[in-house]
Amino acid sequence: MSGPERLALPGEVAERIARARRVVVFSGAGVSRESGLDTFRGAGGLWERMRPEELATPEAFQRDPDRVWRWYAWRFQHVAEAAPNPAHLAFARWQELFPSILVVTQNVDSLHRRAGSRRLVELHGSLATVFCQRCGRRRPMAQAVAASPASAPRCECGGLLRPGVVWFGEALPVAALEEALEEAGRADLFVSAGTSATVYPAAGLIEVAWRAGACVIEVNPEPTPFTRLAALRLAAPAGQAVPELTAAIERCRAQAG
């Protein structure tokens, strides 16, 4: 695929895209990789260089809150310096192409929001906020990092502030998961982009959508456990494939009137 005009949609996929009213985009770390943010799994991923239980569990935070806080403060600064890439921007453009679109992301970097996506479910939380483990009060991560870059800060109530992300061993936010499942079960078009589709229950959204009759499109350089369900698979990085898919969708919907 050397340009937007080069992606030709298979006939049945084109027909289903032309008729689609409800769309769900399911994004993973691969979508943000081209913004300079490491993925968590795969070659060069963050978990290849460190053990998750050392930094991303409630037990790790209880054991050494300052060490965990410093790593997340570094991650937050890294994310703050990143910019949405062509994939994030293209998905935001879909809001003008379909009557209903929900972006469901496993990423905690807020890049979809910064790109302009308005209906967004952040299944694994967000690095943009922190909350108090004692009273639950939330505040901006930027404020907390500025006040205490090297040690875990405390709330006015005395409780420790922690990143607003879902750690290993914690349940996904109930409301976020319920909204994602409901929309996946109603989708005409479901696009899985930049995810290994191995983390549950999030990965189960793909099968929920497929079983409900959605046209499934997969965008990922490597095959996933759900590749077999895809009516169309684009084996390329999201930053390349999603803009080309967007151009093809624009042509398809324009021709359909």
The span from the CA of 227 to the CA of 206, in Å, is 10
Q: Is the dihedral of CA 223, 229, 233, 237 positive or negative?
A: negative
Longest dimension (CA), the chain: 61
90 and 18 in one domain? Answer: yes
134 and 59 in one domain? Answer: yes
**Cis status, amide bond into 201, omega within 30 of 0:** yes
pLDDT higher than 50, residue 4: no
Q: Which domain holds residue 157?
A: 39-81+127-165
- Higher pLDDT: 37 or 15? It is 15
The enclosing domain of 65 has a CATH number of: 3.30.1600.10
pLDDT higher than 50, residue 3: no
222 and 194 in one domain? Answer: yes
Q: Quote the pLDDT of residue 1.
A: 42
242 and 216 in one domain? Answer: yes
Structure tokens at 45: 């991923």
How many domains, the chain? 2
248 and 197 in one domain? Answer: yes
For the chain, the average pLDDT equals: 92
Structure tokens at 38: 């490491």
182 and 105 in one domain? Answer: yes
108 and 95 in one domain? Answer: yes
Which one of the listed residues 78, 88, 112, 124 is annotated catalytic?
A: 124
111 and 222 in one domain? Answer: yes
Q: What is the mean pLDDT of residues 121-137?
A: 97
Q: Quote the pLDDT of residue 2.
A: 41
CB atoms within 10 A of CB 6: 10
Q: Quote the pLDDT of residue 94.
A: 98
pLDDT higher than 90, residue 101: yes
pLDDT higher than 60, residue 128: yes
The span from the CA of 193 to the CA of 188, in Å, is 16
| Dihedral Cα 205, 208, 212, 218, nearest 10 deg | 50
201 and 118 in one domain? Answer: yes
160 and 88 in one domain? Answer: no
Task: Say whether pTM exceeds 0.75.
Answer: yes
Question: Does the annotation mark 124 as catalytic?
Answer: yes
For residue 91, the 8-state DSSP code is: H
For residue 21, the 8-state DSSP code is: -
Structure tokens at 57: 């569990």
Q: Last residue of some domain: 141, 165, 189? A: 165
List C-alpha distances in Å: 157 to 68, 134, 136, 173.
21, 8, 10, 24
